[in-house]
Structure 1
Amino acid sequence: MGAPGRRGKVVGMSAQPVNHHADHPGFSGVVGATIGLELLLTGRPVARLAADLADVAPGDHVVDIGCGPGNAVRKAAHRGARATGVDPAPVMLRLARLVTRVGGIDWREGTAESVPLADGAATVWWSLATVHHWKDVAGGLREAHRVLAPGGRLLALERQVRPGAKGFASHGWTREQADAFAEHCREAGFTEARVTGHRAGLRNFWAVRALRA
């Protein structure tokens, strides 16, 4: 097995790291706004799945890393939680603010590796279809561990993809990559890391859940 580093762990000779699209340039301008609108229209089933898997309830503080236009952030708020959406793209945050009508939400510019929140601020931390874009998996999980209070719940969702998929079809995880991320979570000090498969809308997803010790 490869040693952990800035890229995700390689678990086999031909395996892709969990952040195999870390070189993605991000979202900005007209293209970013267009993608944001598409995510806004198609992201509700994933938001509902995330809130169900994380068992979001009143009293929680949910932090969404790579929140995009904020579907899952609003879902958490509608369930009575305080919610913070974090995204590196100003165009996504502008869209999120524009369409949000529910209270209890804060929007902040940041990345998985640099979250603008205090230690132990959150009870739920999730990253929905974004871990494969992270620049530094170990760094992102260190931040998750820092921001979550003891007993806090971590959730990562990624679209299920086939080994060897190319282009857009590769944006997600194989089962091997999901297992590798669960191992990363254990190495970062999380407990009870597990992988499960789920369906949201027309797509299948891998979920990795763990607890902050």
Structure 2
Amino acid sequence: MPRTADHDQRRAQIADAVCELIARDGLGAVTVARTAARAGISVGLVQHYFPTKDDMLLHAFERVGATVAARVARLIEEGARHERSIADVLTAALAENLPLDEGRRAEFRVTRTFAGRALDNPRLAEVDARSSTALRAEIARAVTNGFECGEVAPAADPALAAARLAAVTEGLGAALYRAPEETARTTAALRAEIATVFTGACRQYGR
């Protein structure tokens, strides 16, 4: 009997093929046949794992989000290990949602494509809403941690700051996708917005 890891690998292989097709040619290019060809497997095997196209798209959407979340988790872990300020770590984490290079540009196109489809697809809308909620929760947690180390003023509202920074990140991402030559300015704008919340110096590491 195939192991669970084998099943997970097949699902990931199919989801990656979906994302590659969307990043290259848009959502209209995604069919079961093209996905199978891109993944190097049979149409029947794709249909075995995903009976409908929406099932396939849903899993691909979730996989992109999980990929970004894993990178952010590594950045947070590395930030703590190297004693970086919370503001610096948050800047790097939010930048993972911006189309700053070829890989993240492809991811951004995929996530925006799915977000558009989510307007008329309740299952995709649920994943989209869950991703947005998780992002705001992570930002709010960073702001709360900022209170403890002195980077954030006690009067700041974590939920309000999170809503604002999440919206700024989304807007910067859309603007950068349209004008990819603005990479440096986009990064500077993100850092400036974070600096309006993280106004103090970090005391977390005694420096």
Give the alignment's TM-score, normalised by structure 2: 0.23
More strand by share: 1
TM-score, with normalisation over the residues of structure 1? 0.22
* Structure with greater helix share of residues: 2
